[in-house]
């Protein structure tokens, strides 16, 4: 699937592009039906909520240990737009499920994803695009992603000692550019720049707000020091070969 010139221009202007209905209801059912297997994972890939050690905050690297999410990682509707966005072939630098469960899902302070990769992984250039696949309806009540449109134009705002940006900086960015809440139905995909400033509030509703993220890095963006485990920072920069458009629906074994 190719993004149009108009979609690419909007991405360049805003630092994000929301594509509604990129995955059909039956494909979303498959992805949602597999979430319990991911949630049952135990090990270093799983981080728990600070306020509730019984709730999962994030699960890294499902494409390494789950067949459905491995297939999703190579889906042409994700890989081809990401290649267009970064202007290169891509590899998966990181994947993560943020389940943000009802009542217990915690918030995220304002940050740029690239800052974490710069701090921990020595990534020098923000030549990666993120794709967030919405598994649930995301509304005003269940802690939607909040983004500052166009904030990627501010460049990297280095925070060497922490993830979150200084609130005075956020205030300035918001007074210039505002805040967009990203609301959509299941099956939508949010493509966004690794310098886009974003955050989200805790989920105080009963409804889960599950988003699965892939970070697709340009294969030419090689200047990375793999200090963290592979599920945080994968330096295998073999370009992804996209599968067929029917890959999620195809019988097991159709694609290797």
Ligand X SMILES: O=C(O)CCC(=O)C(=O)O
Instruction: Establish if 27 lies at the interface with ligand X (CB under 6 A).
Output: no
Q: In this complex, which beta carbon is closest to ligand X, that of residue 76 or of residue 126?
A: 126
- Range list of β-strands (E), 11-70: 16-19, 46-49, 52-60
Kindly state the DSSP code that residue 166 receives in the 8-state scheme.
P
CB of 211 to ligand X, least distance (A): 5
Q: Cα(58)–Cα(62) distance, rounded to whole angstroms?
A: 11
Instruction: Establish if 193 lies at the interface with ligand X (CB under 6 A).
Output: no
Q: What angle do CA 186, 189, 195 make, to 5 degrees?
A: 135
Q: In this complex, which beta carbon is closest to ligand X, that of residue 109 or of residue 239?
A: 109
Instruction: Establish if 55 lies at the interface with ligand X (CB under 6 A).
Output: no
Instruction: Establish if 203 lies at the interface with ligand X (CB under 6 A).
Output: no
Q: Cα(188)–Cα(203) distance, rounded to whole angstroms?
A: 19
Edge-first strand order for the sheet with 16-19 is: 16-19, 189-193, 128-134, 211-218, 90-98, 52-60, 46-49
34, 73, 98, 151: residue in contact with ligand X (rule CB under 6 A): 98
CB of 28 to ligand X, least distance (A): 17
Site string for ligand X, 128-157 (x = CB under 6 A): -----------------x------------
Residues that bind ligand X (CB under 6 A): 98, 108, 113, 145, 198, 200, 211
């Amino acid at each position: 699937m190719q993004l149009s010139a108009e979609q690419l221009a909007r991405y360049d202007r805003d630092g994000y592009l929301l594509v509604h209905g990129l995955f059909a209801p039956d494909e979303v059912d498959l992805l949602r039906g597999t979430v319990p297997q991911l949630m049952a994972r135990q090990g270093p890939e799983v981080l728990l909520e600070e306020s509730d050690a019984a709730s999962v905050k994030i699960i890294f690297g499902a494409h390494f240990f789950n067949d459905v999410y491995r297939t999703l990682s190579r889906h042409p509707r994700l890989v081809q737009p990401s290649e267009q966005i970064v202007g290169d072939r891509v590899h998966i630098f990181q994947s993560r499920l943020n389940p943000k469960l009802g009542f217990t899902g915690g918030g995220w302070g304002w940050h740029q994803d690239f800052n974490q990769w710069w701090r921990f992984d020595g990534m020098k250039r923000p030549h990666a695009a993120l794709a967030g696949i919405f598994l649930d309806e995301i509304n005003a009540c269940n802690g939607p992603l909040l983004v500052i449109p166009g904030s990627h134009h501010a460049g990297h705002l280095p925070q060497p000692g922490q993830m979150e940006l200084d609130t005075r900086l956020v205030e300035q960015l918001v007074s210039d550019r505002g805040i967009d809440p990203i609301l959509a139905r299941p099956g939508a995909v949010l493509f966004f720049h690794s310098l886009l400033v974003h955050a989200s509030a805790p989920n105080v509703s009963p409804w889960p707000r599950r988003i699965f993220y892939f970070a697709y890095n340009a294969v030419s963006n090689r200047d990375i020091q793999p200090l963290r485990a592979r599920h945080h920072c994968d330096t295998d920069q073999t370009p992804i070969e996209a599968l067929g458009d029917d890959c999620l629906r195809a019988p097991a074994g159709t694609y290797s």
